[in-house]
Amino acid sequence: MIFDKAYFDALRAVDTPSIANAIEVVLGKRQGDGFTRKTVLAANTSLAPICGYARTAKIKAAVPTTEKTEVIATRRMAYYEYMANSSEHSIAVIEDLDYPECVGAYWGEVNTAVHKGFGLEGTLTNGVMRDLDAMAEGYQVIAGSIGPSHAFVRIKEIDTPVSLFGLTIHPGDMIHADKHGAVVIPKAAQAGLVEAIKKMIDREKIVLDAAKQPGFNFESFKQAWAEFEAQREK
């Protein structure tokens, strides 16, 4: 199914926890997987969430390579060509194979400018970022850590499944990520997600509005919660 800009704008208008909840609304059940399980860091917490299709790769940086220089260089260019040929609404999803002892920052001033120029929406990585004040404007990086050096960073694999913070992501998976972490949006939930977000917001508003009223107490909470539960059944 092909989704337009309005669809992705609607998903970026809410945070990742809201997307996780909306997925459960569409599927009709709670989810025990499909989301990250470790703390992440956002380069700029004021930016909107990133949402799009995964373009995947793996890197390594902690120790020098034993591969020939020309092999590394060829793979590097193949990586950039792969990213440059991304479809609309794509996210760079990069697994650092050194995790959890990542040391080499692949994401900083240069790579955020390059990937933004290629048209990518942002980056999700378990690796290191740097140049926080010099990253491309509006380009979000959700990473595992911050550090000063690129060390011996190089590309190891392109367009293969990756694992970040306990979440397995395949090339082409639809991802939503922000300062809270990331979720994979299952195909079965994608078509109904925008409507589910609206229903969820309207339902939660019942309790939130009640809690903000003067004199809010347990009895008014019970009444609001009963209405909340009734809406859940619709």
Q: Per-residue confidence at 231, pLDDT binned at 50, 70, 90? A: confident
The first and second tokens of residue 197, run together, are: 């977000």
Q: What percent of the chain has pLDDT over 90?
A: 94
Q: Quick one: which of 160, 188, 175 has its CA closest to 58? A: 160
Q: Per-residue confidence at 233, pLDDT binned at 50, 70, 90? A: low
What rounded mean pLDDT belongs to the chain? 96
φ/ψ of residue 100, rounded to 5: -95, 10
Assess whether pLDDT exceeds 70 at residue 234.
Answer: no
Q: Quick one: which of 142, 89, 159, 81 has its CA closest to 114? A: 81
Q: Which of 91-95, 107-111, 230-234 has the least mean pLDDT?
A: 230-234
**Cα Rg, the chain, nearest whole Å:** 20
**What distance in Å separates the CA atoms of residue 92 and residue 159, rounded to the nearest whole number?**
10
Task: Report which residue type is found at 60.
Answer: K
The reply to whether omega before 171 is within 30° of 0 (cis) is no
- Alpha carbon 14 to chain centroid, angstroms: 13
Who wins on pLDDT, 231 or 182? 182
Q: What percent of the chain has pLDDT over 70?
A: 99
User: Which region holds residue 99: left if phi is over 0, alpha if psi is between -120 and 50, else beta?
Assistant: beta
The first and second tokens of residue 135, run together, are: 């990253």
Per DSSP, 119 falls in state T
Burial status of residue 159 (CB atoms within 10 A of its CB: 0-12, 13-18, 19 or more): middle
